[in-house]
Chains A and B, each alone.
Chain A
Amino acid sequence: KQEVTQIPAALSVPEGENLVLNCSFTDSAIYNLQWFRQDPGKGLTSLLLIQSSQREQTSGRLNASLDKSSGRSTLYIAASQPGDSATYLCAVTGGGGSNYKLTFGKGTLLTVNP
C-alpha cells in the first residue's frame, strides 16, 4: 500500500526566504507526482506535475524535483511571499495499478511572515 509522508508538518519563514518542502513515498512504482496548494476553505490547485521519467519541473518561483528510485521529491520555493502562505500537498499516482488514483500526504502548512 502506497504511503506518502511530508516533512515538516508546518513551517514559518520570513518573507524573501528560500525554502524547501519534502515529500517521500514508499512504493517507487509511480506514474507521476504532483504538488498541490490548498488555501483555507478552498479546494486544491495543482502547481506542478512530474512524470516518472522526469527529474524536475519548474513554474515561476517553484521548482519540484523527483528522485523516483529513492522515493523522494522536494518543492523549492524561491523568494517566498506572504501570498505563498497555504497548505502544500504532495500526491503520487500509481503504485497500485491505476493511473488515476492519487495518494496524498498530510501536507505542510506554510506561513510566510511579512
Chain B
Amino acid sequence: ETGVTQTPRHLVMGMTNKKSLKCEQHLGHNAMYWYKQSAKKPLELMFVYSLEERVENNSVPSRFSPECPNSSHLFLHLHTLQPEDSALYLCASSQLDGSYTDTQYFGPGTRLTVL
C-alpha cells in the first residue's frame, strides 16, 4: 500500500454517461496528480494540483473535469467520453518543497472502459 487509494478500481461506461473517479491520499502531501496510461503509450500527465490550486492542465479535452476540494482528495469527473478514452487512470501525490528529491506516490489506478 502506497497511502494513495482510488475508487472505483474498474469502471465501464457508455459514451453518454457521467461518472467520477475518486482519489484519496493519506500521506499529508500538498500536491496531487492525474495520469492517463493507454496501451503502448507512455504515462501522460493530465492535471496537477498544488495546495488545491490547479497548476497544470496538459491540453486535456474538456470532457475530463478535475476537482480538488482539499489537499487529501482529488476527483476526475467524466462526461460524454469516447472509446479512445479507455485507459488506466492513475492518481499520485507528492510533497512539493522545492527540492529535487520529491517522489510521487501512485494509487492502484482505475481501469476505465468506454463502450
Q: How far is the CA of A45 from the CA of B98 in the complex (A)?
A: 22
Interface of A is mostly: strand
Are the C-beta atoms of B101 and A51 separated by less than 8 Å? yes
**Which A3-53 residues sit within 8 Å CB-CB of chain B?**
4, 31-32, 34, 36, 41-46, 49, 51-52
B contact residues, range:
20 to 34
User: Is there an interface contact between A44 and B94, defined as CB atoms closer than 8 Å?
Assistant: no
Q: Is the CB of B106 within 8 A of A43?
A: yes
Given known contacts A102-B104, A104-B43, what 16 new A-B pairs fall within 8 Å (CB)?
A: A31-B100, A32-B101, A36-B106, A41-B111, A43-B90, A44-B92, A44-B106, A51-B100, A100-B48, A101-B45, A102-B43, A103-B42, A104-B42, A105-B42, A106-B40, A106-B41
> How many whole Å from A93's CB to the nearest CB in chain B?
7
Contact B94 A100 (CB under 8 A): yes
A89 CB-CB contact with B under 8 Å: yes
Please name the residue on chain B nearest to A52 by beta carbon.
B100
Contact residue among B31, B41, B108 (Cβ-Cβ distance under 8 Å from A41): B108
Q: A89-B43, A100-B94, A101-B56 are in contact. Are A46 and B31 (CB under 8 A)?
A: no
Residues in chain B within 8 A of chain A (CB atoms): 2, 4, 6, 31, 33, 40-43, 45, 48, 50, 56, 90, 92, 94, 96, 98-109, 111
CA distance A104 to B50 in the complex (A): 21
Report A's interface with B, CB cutoff 8 A: 4, 31-32, 34, 36, 41-46, 49, 51-52, 89, 91, 93-94, 98-107
Contacts of A32 in B (CB 8 A): 100-101
Closest 5 CB pairs of A and B: A43-B106, A31-B100, A44-B106, A104-B43, A104-B42
Residues of chain B within 8 A (CB-CB) of A45 are 2, 106
